[in-house]
Amino acid sequence: MLRLTWVQPEDLLGHELRQARLDGREPSAIEARWRAAGGPSAPERAGASPHGASRYLRLLAEDLLDELADLPSTLAEDEPTGLARIKSLCPAWPAPAEGVATPCALEAAWLGRAIGCLLGRPVEKLPLDAIRTLARAAGNWPLTTYFTAVGVPDDLLAAHPWNRRSAATSLAENIDGMPEGDDLNYPLLALLLLQRHGKAFTTTDVARLWLDELPPGRTFTAERVAYRNLLTGIEPPHTARHRNPFREWIGALIRADVHGWTNPGDPAAAAEQAHRDAALTHTANGVYAAMFTAAVIATAATGTHDVHTCLRAGRSVVPPRSRLARALDHAVQLARSQADFTAVVDELHARYAPAHHWVHAVPNTALIAAALTHADGDFTGSICRAVSGGWDTDSNGATAGSVAGLLAGSAAALPEHWRAPLKNRLATTVADFDGTGFDTLAHLTLLETARS
Are 387 and 273 within 8 A, CB to CB?
no
Q: How many residues does the chain have?
A: 452
Please tell me the distance from the alpha carbon of residue 251 to that of residue 185, in angstroms, as a whole number.
12
Is residue 416 in some structural domain?
yes
Claim to verify: residue 377 and residue 240 sit in the same structural domain: yes
DSSP assigned state of 305: S
Q: What digits encode the pLDDT tens for the residues 30-80?
A: 999 999 999 999 988 888 888 888 999 999 999 999 999 999 999 999 999
Q: Which residues contact 419 (CB under 8 A, 6 or more apart)?
A: 111, 115, 411
Residue 24 has pLDDT above 70, yes or no: yes
Residue 452 has pLDDT above 80, yes or no: no
Q: What is the largest CA-CA distance in the chain?
A: 60
Claim to verify: residue 16 and residue 110 sit in the same structural domain: no
Say what the pLDDT of residue 303 is.
94
Is residue 136 in some structural domain?
no
Say what the pLDDT of residue 1 is.
54
Residue 265 burial (10 A CB sphere; 0-12, 13-18, 19+): buried
Is residue 126 in some structural domain?
no
The domain of 90 spans: 83-117+179-449
Claim to verify: residue 64 and residue 189 sit in the same structural domain: no
Q: What digits encode the pLDDT tens for the residues 398-449?
A: 999 999 999 999 999 999 999 999 999 999 999 999 999 999 999 999 999 9
Claim to verify: residue 420 and residue 346 sit in the same structural domain: yes
Say what the pLDDT of residue 114 is.
98
Q: What digits encode the pLDDT tens for the residues 308-339?
A: 999 999 999 999 999 999 999 999 999 999 99
In the chain, the amino acid numbered 321 is: R
Claim to verify: residue 340 and residue 368 sit in the same structural domain: yes
Domain count for the chain, please give it.
Answer: 2
Claim to verify: residue 111 and residue 40 sit in the same structural domain: no
Q: What digits encode the pLDDT tens for the residues 347-377?
A: 999 999 999 999 999 999 999 999 999 999 9
Are 194 and 188 within 8 A, CB to CB?
no
Nearest Cα to 179, choosing from 169, 188, 171?
169
Binding-site members are 392, 394-395
Binding-site members for Mg(2+) are 392, 394-395
Are 323 and 293 within 8 A, CB to CB?
no
Q: What digits encode the pLDDT tens for the residues 256-315?
A: 999 999 999 999 999 999 999 999 999 999 999 999 999 999 999 999 999 999 999 999
Claim to verify: residue 97 and residue 36 sit in the same structural domain: no
Is residue 339 in some structural domain?
yes
What is the arithmetic mean of pLDDT over 145-151? 97
C-alpha pair distances (Å), 253 with each of 88, 169, 173, 248, 275:
22, 24, 30, 10, 10
SS3 191: helix
What is the arithmetic mean of pLDDT over 221-240? 98
Say what the pLDDT of residue 161 is.
94
Claim to verify: residue 48 and residue 189 sit in the same structural domain: no
The CATH number of whichever domain residue 254 belongs to comes to: 1.10.4080.10
Residue 340 burial (10 A CB sphere; 0-12, 13-18, 19+): exposed
Q: Whole-prediction pTM value?
A: 0.97
Say what the pLDDT of residue 98 is.
87
What is the arithmetic mean of pLDDT over 80-107? 96
Region label for 152, one of left (φ > 0), alpha (ψ between -120 and 50) or beta (otherwise): beta
pLDDT tier, 83 (very low <50, low <70, confident <90, very high otherwise): very high
Q: Which residues pair with 394 in a beta bridge?
A: none
The residue from 31, 46, 70 where one domain ends is 70
Is residue 384 in some structural domain?
yes
Please tell me the distance from the alpha carbon of residue 206 to that of residue 372, in angstroms, as a whole number.
30
Please tell me the distance from the alpha carbon of residue 249 to that of residue 395, in angstroms, as a whole number.
12
| Other Cβ atoms closer than 10 A to 77 | 12
Say what the pLDDT of residue 415 is.
98
DSSP assigned state of 339: S
Give percent helix, percent strand, percent coil of the chain, each to the nearest 5: 60, 0, 40
Say what the pLDDT of residue 50 is.
83
Say what the pLDDT of residue 128 is.
97
Nearest Cα to 418, choosing from 168, 141, 116, 181?
116
Is residue 167 in some structural domain?
no
State percent of the chain over pLDDT 70. Answer: 99
Say what the pLDDT of residue 2 is.
66
Claim to verify: residue 263 and residue 312 sit in the same structural domain: yes
Claim to verify: residue 343 and residue 253 sit in the same structural domain: yes
Is residue 424 in some structural domain?
yes
Is residue 155 in some structural domain?
no
Q: At what angle do helices 103-120 and 438-449 cross, to 10 degrees?
A: 130
What is the arithmetic mean of pLDDT over 200-206? 98
Are 86 and 77 within 8 A, CB to CB?
no
Claim to verify: residue 308 and residue 237 sit in the same structural domain: yes
Say what the pLDDT of residue 339 is.
97
Claim to verify: residue 19 and residue 113 sit in the same structural domain: no
